[in-house]
């Protein structure tokens, strides 16, 4: 990608410049990495018009044609994997090994939905009238407005666009205004793969303008959003206008529960991965460690020691394990939560500061931070920090562990670690969350549904459930006996 060129919107197959640009910042050193054009309501209107026109063909196109294009997109993502990974690392800050994993998952997502779209779907019913045959087909919805966050720039675009296009819908897609660069590159790949003009449209710009225009647009049939819970409420309000369908993937404050019978070194390792992978900027992060009292002190000593060894560095640096946070404003929010936790009496056992020495001077780096002895009413326990900050709580019994785990307005994810498989299963079944793990944390698969309970969202992405979100269900009833109904004399 040529970072010296200003990234353009893509509407109806044309690359569009606007009268406003936005600087895109490299969070590792606060330098201007590139610029993109910013759109507004007019560009959303135009994109909807183009999408509606494209839907006339795409919505009735053959599944094998659509699958072939999705497979081509997957191949091209893989072919350009190093470039795409570097774009996300430079723009978001995440270590290159994380970005490479995201690129591979993005290709897998396009390939999965390309493969899924011609598999059996629908239902056939035996109804009381033997002369009637009743069945259900799934049809594309139409124009989908899709709004993505900044924490997995390319992968969030893939999770949205792959099932949407596979199902025969058309899209008006808005990436986060902090991290639009890999989306611009992805749309170039769409063009190269032969995706017809107008099927997917890229409109960059601020959430309050472009995002709001998408959620409120009366000719958009469905809005699919990933982001914060408060923004999710605004999306719902916008969607009310034309009662459009909504799918929301929102925030979390997910529990990672560890019992004393689990191997301590392995437990520490998973707990670190649960919170500090991707700088803690993960919706499903295990941001609350719920630890059994019998191993509490020993476990925390080792956890703090290991967290202190995490290699925080520019994401492009060899061996980088944690990069900078995405922006100055976000870093300040995370640091403010660290202050709040201290004031509320949580015990800081590791980290707690911005890193500013030497080469870190201008970047938005924050130390891996752990607070022990957190109480249920502390803000650090209840509010999503979305950074490298772990809140640890102590439990004695299995019942207490479950009670602490569920004491949240969120319900996105959760993990339990125990060698007693009956106990582990009892606990995980009692945890009110949509994505759960036993003796693991974070593995995510294109085949399995992703989404949350409670204020973590509505609907699911990925898997067959994720495809269903992009279809309307139509029942068709056929009268096999020709003739009159005979109801009125
Ligand atoms: P955000 O809510 O600030 O922004 C998300 C997107 O919404 C961006 O594209 C933004 O420009 C847009 N937006 C902002 N205001 C808007 C408005 N008024 N109307 C319409 N769109 C608007 O979230 P973020 O800071 O980009 O991402 C972090 C949040 O995303 C966290 O809360 C995290 O938990 C959540 N997240 C959830 C999942 C999931 O699968 N559940 C995945 C990733 C991130």
Structure tokens, 216: 């409120």
Percent of the chain as helix, strand, coil, to the nearest 5: 40, 20, 35
**Whether the Cβ atoms of residue 271 and residue 258 lie closer than 8 Å to each other:** yes
For residue 248, report the distance from its CA to the centre of ligand 1, in Å: 10
pTM: 0.97
Using one digit for the tens of pLDDT, what is the confidence trace for 237-293? 999 999 999 999 999 999 999 999 999 999 999 999 999 999 999 999 999 999 999
In the block, tokens 């409109």 appear at: 203
Task: Compute how many other C-beta atoms are within 10 angstroms of the C-beta atom of residue 296.
Answer: 18
Average pLDDT over residues 72-91: 98
Measured by CA distance, the residue closest to atom 28 of ligand 1 is 227
The best mutation among 38, 147, 149, 278 to test binding of ligand 1, ranked by most ligand atoms within 8 Å of the C-beta, falls on: 149
Q: Which of 304, 271, 270 lies closest to 287, judged by CA?
A: 271
**Whether the Cβ atoms of residue 81 and residue 98 lie closer than 8 Å to each other:** no
Query: What atom of ligand 1 comes closest to residue 229's alpha carbon?
Result: 32
- 484 Cβ contact list (under 8 Å, min separation 6): none
For residue 286, the model assigns a pLDDT of 98
Strand order in the sheet with 369-372: 347-350, 369-372, 389-395, 288-292, 255-258, 413-417, 435-438
The best mutation among 36, 163, 228 to test binding of ligand 1, ranked by most ligand atoms within 8 Å of the C-beta, falls on: 228
Cβ < 6 A, ligand 1 pocket: 147-151, 174, 176-177, 207-208, 211-212, 215, 226-228, 231, 234-235, 249-252, 283, 384, 386, 412, 450, 452, 457
**Whether the Cβ atoms of residue 364 and residue 327 lie closer than 8 Å to each other:** yes
Look at residue 482 and tell me whether its pLDDT is greater than 90: no
Look at residue 484 and tell me whether its pLDDT is greater than 90: yes
For residue 213, report the distance from its CA to the centre of ligand 1, in Å: 15
Residues assigned a catalytic role: 249, 283
Angle at 146 between CA 26 and CA 316, to 5 degrees: 20
For residue 191, the model assigns a pLDDT of 98
Average pLDDT over residues 32-59: 98
Calpha distance 356→351 (Å, rounded): 13
Look at residue 174 and tell me whether its pLDDT is greater than 90: yes
Using one digit for the tens of pLDDT, what is the confidence trace for 305-364? 999 999 999 999 999 999 999 999 999 999 999 999 999 999 999 999 999 999 999 999
């Amino acid at each position: 990608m040529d970072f010296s060129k200003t990234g353009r919107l893509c509407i109806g197959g044309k690359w569009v410049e606007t009268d406003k640009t936005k600087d895109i910042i490299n969070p590792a050193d606060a330098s201007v990495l590139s610029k993109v054009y910013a759109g507004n309501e007019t560009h959303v209107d135009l994109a909807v018009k183009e999408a509606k026109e494209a839907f006339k063909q795409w919505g009735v196109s053959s599944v094998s044609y659509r699958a072939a294009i999705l497979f081509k997109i997957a191949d091209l993502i893989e072919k350009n994997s190093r470039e795409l990974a570097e774009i996300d690392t430079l723009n978001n800050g995440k270590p290159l090994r994380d970005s490479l994993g995201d690129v591979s998952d993005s290709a897998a997502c396009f390939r999965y939905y390309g493969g899924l779209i011609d598999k059996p779907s629908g239902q056939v019913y035996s109804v009381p009238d033997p002369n009637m045959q009743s069945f259900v087909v799934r049809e594309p919805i139409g124009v989908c407005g899709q709004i993505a966050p900044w924490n997995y720039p390319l992968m969030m675009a893939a999770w949205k666009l792959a099932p949407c296009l596979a199902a025969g819908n058309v899209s008006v897609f808005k990436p986060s205004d902090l991290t639009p660069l890999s989306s611009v590159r992805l749309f170039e790949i769409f063009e190269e793969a032969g995706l017809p003009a107008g099927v997917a449209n890229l409109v960059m710009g601020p959430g309050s303008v472009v995002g709001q225009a998408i959620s409120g647009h009366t000719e958009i049939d469905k809005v699919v959003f990933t982001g914060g819970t408060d923004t999710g409420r605004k999306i719902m309000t916008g969607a009310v206008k034309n009662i459009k369908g909504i799918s929301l993937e929102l925030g979390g404050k997910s529990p990672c529960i560890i019992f004393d019978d689990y191997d301590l070194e392995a437990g520490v390792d998973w707990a670190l991965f649960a919170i500090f992978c991707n700088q803690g900027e993960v919706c499903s992060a295990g941001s609350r460690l719920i630890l059994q009292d019998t191993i509490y002190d020993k476990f925390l000593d080792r956890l703090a020691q290991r967290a202190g060894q995490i290699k925080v560095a520019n994401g492009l640096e060899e061996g980088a394990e944690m990069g900078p946070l995405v922006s100055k404003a976000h870093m300040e929010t995370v640091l403010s939560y660290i202050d709040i936790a201290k004031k509320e009496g949580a015990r800081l056992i590791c980290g707690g500061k911005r890193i500013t020495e030497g080469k870190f001077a201008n970047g938005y780096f924050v130390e891996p931070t752990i607070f022990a002895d957190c109480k249920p009413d502390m803000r650090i326990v209840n509010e999503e920090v979305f950074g490298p900050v772990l809140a640890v709580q102590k439990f004695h019994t299995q019942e207490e562990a479950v009670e602490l785990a569920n004491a949240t307005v969120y319900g996105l994810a959760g993990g339990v670690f125990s060698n007693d498989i009956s106990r582990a299963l009892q606990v995980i079944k009692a945890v009110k969350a949509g994505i759960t793990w036993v003796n693991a944390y974070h593995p995510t698969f294109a085949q399995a549904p992703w989404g949350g309970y409670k204020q973590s969202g509505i609907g699911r992405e990925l898997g067959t459930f994720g495809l269903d979100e992009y279809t309307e269900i139509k029942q068709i009833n056929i009268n096999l006996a020709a003739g009159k109904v005979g109801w009125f004399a």
